[in-house]
Amino acid sequence: MEQAKTIFEKNKPGRRCFDVPEARGPKPEDMIPAKLLRSAPPAIPQVSEPEVVRHYSRLGRRNLGVDSTFYPLGSCTMKYNPKVNEAAAAMDGFLNLHPYIPQDCAQGALELIYDLEHFLAEISGFEAVTLEPAAGAHGEFTGLLVIKAFLDAAGEERDVVLIPDSAHGTNPASCTIAGFDTRPVKSDSKGLVDLEDLKAKLDPKVAALMLTNPNTLGLFDTNVCRIAGMMHDNGSLMYMDGANLNAILGYARPGDFGVDVMHFNLHKTFSTPHGGGGPGSGPVGVKAKLAPFLPMPRVVKEGKAFKAVFKAEKSIGRVRSWFGNTGVMLKAYTYILRLGARGLKRVAENAVLNANYIMESLKNDYSLPYESRCMHECVLSAKNLLKKHDIRAMDVAKRLIDLGFHPPTVYFPLIVEEALMIEPTETENLETLDEFIAAMKQIAKEAEETPGLLHDAPVTTPVGRLDEVKAVKEPRLVFAKSSP
């Protein structure tokens, strides 16, 4: 088939989708200063309406997402977003509510914010929650600022945060932006925090430990209470990266096992859109002693009315406009209400069951770095394929595209050689998991019998294997031109 043309290549001067009637009243040039007017029309392709529709429909078919395919992207929880959430967020009373409307005319929205804060607090075991942060990493940054303000108020000069080597990559970045130095903490032979190394890194300069639990190996750190105790005995705080909260919903609450601060990823645990389907939301929960330092505004309940409070003496101040991305929060609110307490427990049960099913099904075809039951995701390795057949994790990922699957995360976490990080989420059924497992087994067999096929993959896509390293080092940016 001939390579499809770009919309710019289809440009035909004079061709139109539709005609817009001449505007009545003053013309734009009569109302807009001349210096702000274009000297020439924009270079927009001149095409017919069918061509525009086919252009975007074709692009849509090339796009991959949770609505079109299984998306086992480990550590990112790309799970299905229920459409009832979208319907709730599109309700006119929420969609068209202006932020400057008087508070007595926005009681429904304020009640929703108030309730969601308390839902999240109850789920996680914290005394207070802010909904302001606009994403998970923004939540990390906000939580670290709260820790900093708390320590400053106590006269503590602590500027070091400990980061396990199995942490998410945003953790050290957030620490740096918040003004902290970082120290790595090693994992032990079981993939958990090495307690001896942690003990050696503790001193009066340590402000906190940022622990991801379950960690990026998909393992729950069973020493978490002991770790929290070690931090508190050192006068330090315990921060938990809550990205993997979906694995323990209804079964364990971070606030109960010693965590002082945690950010939530609403897109990971509570089904709101992720990434390009965002925007995101990264609420932060804290124990009572840290609550006065949370950003403002907050919603309080006075009798039967709800009120936004904009100032607090110890608050770190605003980190986002108004209350954050309220449209996203509304979707999470809908999800929580629809599932209820038992439904949220089933999320964890099914997420853990699915991940362990994949791990057990593939552990004889790929290397398994840690012989332990996993939680919501499992980490396999292509190390055995590399050693025997010169097939890397990247080759496996590219071949999966040919077989109709989005690849899992590869080469992360960094402590696993040739890592394949697979997260099925709780929303996938047995048939889908079996199809994915069959594809992975096929690739392992192809690695032995026809390794050249994997080196050339993908071969069914509009563009074949790219040289990613060269693309980063020598980007070629091509701008299409069209006549006005």
Q: Does 349-471 match 83-339 at the fold level?
A: no
Least confident of 21-30, 211-220, 339-348: 21-30
Whole-angstrom CA distances from 458 to 64, 71, 381, 384, 469 are 15, 17, 20, 21, 17
pLDDT for residue 363 is more than 80: yes
Contacts of 218 (CB under 8 A, 6+ apart): 74, 355, 374, 375, 376, 377, 378, 379, 421, 423
Query: Is the backbone peptide bond immediately before 82 cis, with ω within 30 degrees of 0?
Result: no
Q: Which tens digits make up the pLDDT trace of 81-105?
A: 899 999 999 999 898 898 889 999 9
DSSP notation for 142-153: HHHHHHHHHHHH
Furthest C-alpha separation in the chain? 78
Classify burial at 284, counting beta carbons within 10 Å of its beta carbon; exposed 0-12, middle 13-18, buried 19 or more. Answer: buried
**pLDDT, average across residues 253-263:** 96
Name the nearest CA neighbour of 129 among 138, 137, 139, 94: 139
Calculate what percentage of the chain has a pLDDT beyond 90. 70
| Model pLDDT, residue 347 | 96
Helices (H), 8-106: 28-31, 49-62, 83-89, 92-95
How confident is the model over 432-462, as pLDDT tens digits?
999 999 999 999 999 999 999 999 999 988 8
| CATH fold group of domain 83-339 | Aspartate Aminotransferase; domain 2 (3.40.640)
Asked if the model's pLDDT at residue 1 lies above 90, the reply is no
pLDDT tens string 283-319: 999 999 999 999 999 999 999 999 999 989 999 999 9
pLDDT at 478: 63
Q: Is a pLDDT exceeding 80 seen at residue 162?
A: yes
Average pLDDT over residues 166-174: 90
Q: Residue 307: CB partners within 8 Å, gap ≥ 6?
A: 103, 110, 299, 300, 301
The pLDDT of residue 483: 44
The percent of residues in the chain predicted with pLDDT above 70, rounded, is: 97
**Reported CATH class of domain 349-471:** alpha beta
Torsion angle (degrees, nearest 10) of CA 125, 176, 271, 132:
70
Mean pLDDT along residues 378-404? 96
pLDDT in tens, 36-79: 988 888 888 999 999 999 988 888 887 778 888 899 998 888 88
Residues 385-397 pLDDT 10s? 999 999 999 999 9
Domain residue limits, the chain: 1-63, 83-339, 349-471
| For residue 484, pLDDT beyond 60 | no
Per-residue model confidence (pLDDT) at position 329: 93
Query: Taking 80 as the threshold, does the pLDDT of residue 377 lie above it?
Result: yes
50 preceded by a cis bond (ω within 30 of 0)? no
* Main-chain dihedrals φ then ψ at residue 198, nearest 5 degrees: -60, -45
Q: What is the mean pLDDT of the chain?
A: 92
The answer to whether residue 14 scores a pLDDT higher than 60 is yes
The average pLDDT across 243-266 equals 95
Quick one: 403 exposed, middle or buried, by C-beta within 10 A (0-12, 13-18, 19+)?
A: middle
DSSP state of 255: G
Residue bearing the bigger pLDDT, 275 or 102: 102
* Tens digits of residue pLDDT in 186-231: 999 999 999 999 999 999 999 999 999 999 999 999 999 999 999 9
Residue-level pLDDT at 2: 47
Yes or no: say if 238 and 260 are a contact pair by the CB < 8 Å rule. Answer: yes
Other C-beta atoms closer than 10 Å to the C-beta of 69 total: 14
SS3 192: coil
Average pLDDT over residues 127-144: 95
CB 219 within 8 A of CB 192: yes
Specify the pTM.
0.89
pLDDT of residue 75: 84
CA atoms within 13 A on the CB side of 122: 10
pLDDT at residue 479, rounded to an integer: 58
Range 460-480 average pLDDT: 81
- Calculate mean pLDDT across residues 15-29: 78
Give the pLDDT confidence score for residue 58 in this predicted structure: 87
Residue 278 has pLDDT above 80, yes or no: no
